[in-house]
Structures are given as C-alpha cells and as structure tokens.
Amino acid sequence: MADFIQGFWSLYIAIPTVLGLVGVFCLAWRLSSRPAAGESTGTSGHVWDEDLTEYNNPLPRWWLNMLYLTIVWGLLYLLAYPGLGTFKGLLGWSQQDAYEAEMSEADARYAPIFARYADQPIAEVAADPKARKIGERLYATYCTGCHGSDARGARGFPNLRDGDWLYGGTPEAIEASITNGRQAAMPAWGAILGVDKVAQVTAHVEQLAGRTTDSAAAAAGQAVFQTHCAACHGPEGQGNPLMGAPNLSDDIWLYGGSTKKIAESIQDGRNGHMPAHGNLLGPARVHLLAAYVYGINQAP
C-alpha cells in the first residue's frame, strides 16, 4: 500500500480519518448537554396524532460512555497499527511480516513431510496413497479456482483428466508447467485471412477432428491451413507440445468445439495464461502437486 499513498494521498487518508473521530466526539458531546436546573427539555417540533410530541432529551449516559470508549479505542488502534496513510504504527506490525512469520512456521512444521517425497520419481509418488492425499489438498488449495474441484476444467482452463496435454503429459512436463507457468500465443488470423478463408479453415479443422463438413470448403481450407497453420499444429493438425499448439484431430477443445467457437479462435486468437507456482509453493510442494495431477490422469 505504501507505494500508492505517498505524499498528498497519505494526508488525504490520514486527515479525514482523524477529523472523523474528532467530529463524532464533538457531536456526541454536544448532544449530551442537559438542561440547567429549572429549565425544561425542549422538543424537536415533531407532533403526531395531535398530542404525541417528540422531546429532545440528551442521550443516555451509558450509551455515550460506550461511544467515548469506542473513539478512544479507535485512536489507540491507529497509533499502534497502520491506518493513517504511510504511518506504520508504533508496534511496527505489517501484513507482509505476519504472512512471512506464518509461512515460516508452516514450513518448519510441514517441510519434513514434503521433503520425504522430494527425491522420489513422480510416478512413484503418484502411487503412494499418503502422497496422493497431500497432493489432493494442495490441488484443492491452489488449483480448483481454474481447473475445478474435479480437475475437469472449464472453457479456457484445461481438463487434467482427459489425457490431452498442450505441453506434454509426462511427469517432467507437468512439473515444469506448474513451476514455470505457461503463456499461450495463438495469433489472430482474421485480418490476414478474411472472413471467407477463416470459414474454410474452420471447415478443414472440423474435418481433421473427424466431423462431416462442406468438402469443397474443407479442401480450400486445407491449402490455407498448410500455409499458415501447419508450422505450429503440424501438417496433420496433431499439435506440437514444444510450442503448446493443441492437437486439432482429437475433437477435444479448450475454448469450445462448436463451429462458431473454432472460427472465433482462428479469427481472434487465444491468449491463455497459466501462472507460475514455483516461487509460491517451492520445489517440494510442486513435486507432490505434479504427482497428484499425473496420478489422476493415469487413473481409469
């Protein structure tokens, strides 16, 4: 936060905060004044049903004391902890320090468990029931948001159970994907090919997947495919794991396999992103997570 609230913005946060607490105190003090001896309590001027009058009585003393204690607590909190712009608080507490302390405590507690499997081949770890349980928990924590709780993915997020891999399904490839992340780069061909050729290539791609399409359009699309697409997807459309180019002949689609969706992919391109988890998890956790993903893909 300190990078965003320097100078003026720090004062912009701190001054209204302090003035707000002072203003609440002054208002409560003003409303707590009681009439002098012999004076009657005034009214607010509101009358209902001819004789129901709203009096302007002072606030109850117990309620005011609770409010004053709350204001004092707020001021003490702002002195002790960050809350007034760039002022870090007298205790020097920060979210970053608290996070690092918790992570250090967790590492000291769980690192020996993870280290037990770090030197074992991923295939062996995947066959260990205890290791699979640990990997399953890691998956539930870090991966379900994109790939789903059942690892079957969603549109734009790969299914990890179907045996179809953009970058290869070997243990080493899976571990590399988790560690370093992946950045897809399917260029947009709409402006280059035009509407007609996009439709022709779409027909050819559907034919590669084993579908029945317009034979004339597919034949024309094959020539365009060999010129512009075969360098990544291969002459037969079977993909290239080194580039992350998908296999177009297996009728498995990351962004939807309808004619419209295939045409959109060709025309507009795709830019999927798999974030790197190596720095976040560390090698031992990545090893267990890769073993879990490898294991669920090998299961019947």
Quick one: average pLDDT of 210-217? Answer: 94
CA atoms within 13 A on the CB side of 76: 6
User: So what's the pLDDT on residue 70?
Assistant: 95
Q: Please write down the long-range contacts of 29-36, taking CB distance under 8 Å and 24 or more positions apart.
A: 31/58, 31/59, 32/58, 32/59, 32/61, 32/64, 33/58, 34/58
Which pLDDT value is given to residue 61? 87
Per-residue model confidence (pLDDT) at position 190: 96
DSSP 280: H
Residue 11 CB contacts under 8 Å (≥ 6 apart), including other chains: 85
Please tell me the pTM assigned to this model: 0.72
Q: Name the strand (E) or helix (H) holding 45.
A: strand 43-48
pLDDT reported for residue 120: 95
The tens digit of pLDDT for each residue in 53-73 reads 887 777 888 999 999 999 999
pLDDT value of position 1 = 47
Q: How many CA atoms lie within 13 A of 265 on its CB side?
A: 24
Q: Which domains does the chain have, with CATH numbers?
A: 2-93 (no CATH), 96-184+275-298 (1.10.760.10), 190-271 (1.10.760.10)
Is the pLDDT at 45 greater than 80? The verdict is: no
3-state secondary structure of 53: strand
Q: Using 50, 70 and 90 to split pLDDT, how confident is the model at 40? A: low
Cβ neighbors of 26 (< 8 A, separation 6 or more) are: none
Average pLDDT of the chain, as a whole number? 91
Question: pLDDT per residue over 108-156, tens digit each?
Answer: 888 898 999 999 999 999 999 999 999 999 999 999 999 999 999 999 9
* Res. 3 pLDDT band, cuts 50 70 90: low
d(CA 163, CA 292): 14
Give me the mean pLDDT over the 90-107 stretch. Answer: 90
